[in-house]
Amino acid sequence: MGQLVRPKASTLRFSMCVGICVVALMSNPSLAQNQDTLWLKVVTKMKANQQMVPRDVELTMYVTKDEQQSQINIQKRITSWNQHGAVYTNLKTTVVPASPEPKKEMKAFDMKSVMNGISGEIFKPDANVKRTDDVILGGKKWSLFELKEGGLKKTSMKIWVHPETTQIYQQEIEAYIPMGFDGKMQTFYDLEDEGNNLPVMSKSSGVVLIPFRKMTLSITESYKNWISRPAN
């Protein structure tokens, strides 16, 4: 009868570590699935873009509230900086029909800030994204990354990227926040003279669900003359 050989303590510890890692990967599919090189490059690019801001912004907003619609046109430019970032000054504002009420509603809800906050939560290296190659958009082939998150807050993201150059072509975010907002934002990208891949325009639409501030919004923004954020 052969002699029973007990495994060394170090071997047992190694086996336990491997088992724990396998369980962790199985319980968190994003860690196991997403080491896509192209996605990691996209995340790096989006983080780099956060260090740039458009000096000039033109905005057209349609606000529908209590069955009445108003149009707001704004041209604004960065005039200073504070601890939160760029401070814009309105160079020209027109409201049709002329009324102070749309201005108040515009300050009450900033759709772009909401979508940017959601975007910042999505672009992470371990995000559980689905990739589909050779997707046709605008007459060209792109790699499409998609992400959906459920729960109380529901968000989904699509971003079209060139698989070789990593050029971002278009991004779409949809979000539902109970008692907050339900809508989507499309952002269109291009290459500027310096080679930076930055947004040139966005189109947003949705419904504000905040009690006593419910309204429907449709917003188009254009971005020009991007500059770097000042060093801290």
Confidence of residue 89 (pLDDT cuts 50, 70, 90): very high
Residues pairing with 61 in the sheet: 72, 219
Q: How does pLDDT run across 98-112, given as a tens digit for each residue? A: 555 545 545 535 666
Closest CA to 146 of 164, 161, 131: 131
Higher pLDDT among residues 193 and 21, named by residue = 193
Q: The tokens of 86 are what? A: 């760029």
Q: How does pLDDT run across 131-158, given as a tens digit for each residue? A: 999 999 999 999 999 998 877 788 899 9
d(CA 96, CA 107): 17
5 class by beta-carbon count within 10 Å (0-12 exposed, 13-18 middle, 19+ buried):
exposed
> b/e per residue, 174-209, with b = 16+ CB within 10 A?
bbbbeeebebbbbbbbeeeeeeebbbbebebebebb
Q: How does pLDDT run across 57-83, given as a tens digit for each residue? A: 999 999 998 888 899 999 999 999 998
d(CA 68, CA 105): 13
Confidence of residue 85 (pLDDT cuts 50, 70, 90): confident
* Residue 56: count of CB within 10 angstroms of its CB: 16
